[in-house]
Amino acid sequence: MQIAVNAPAFKFDLNQMVNVRVSDEFGEVRGRAQYANAENQYYIHYRAADGRATSSWFDESLLVAAEDDRHPGCPIYGCAEMPEGATVEDE
């Protein structure tokens, strides 16, 4: 007997910056969870409206990808340590 599971793909990547749809809060995806009978969830580390740094789980439908105004449609990722000698160029 084989059981096929068609789980939905994750909409957001790890380290991707996202906005919380119902507030002005935004943060970085630190974890993801996939369920058989519920929508995907994301563990977001963000700055709360009162200024505190905090982390919480959010349903996928409550999140929107943060975008760079100079490059619409391009996702933004959280900071990562770059290899020695690597450089970043801005147009």
- What does the block give as tokens for 19? 């906005």
**Residue in this structure with the two tokens 């105004």, named with its chain if needed:** 69
CA distance 16 to 43: 11
Q: Which amino acid is it at 46?
A: Y
Q: How many domains does the chain have?
A: 1
53 domain-assigned: yes
Q: What is the pLDDT along the chain (91 residues), one digit of tens a residue?
A: 665 566 678 999 999 999 999 988 999 999 999 998 899 999 999 988 888 999 999 999 999 999 888 888 888 888 767 778 777 776 5
| pLDDT for the residue numbered 1 | 62
| pLDDT for the residue numbered 71 | 87
What CATH number does residue 60 fall under? Answer: 2.30.30
69 domain-assigned: yes
Question: Domain limits at 65?
Answer: 17-75
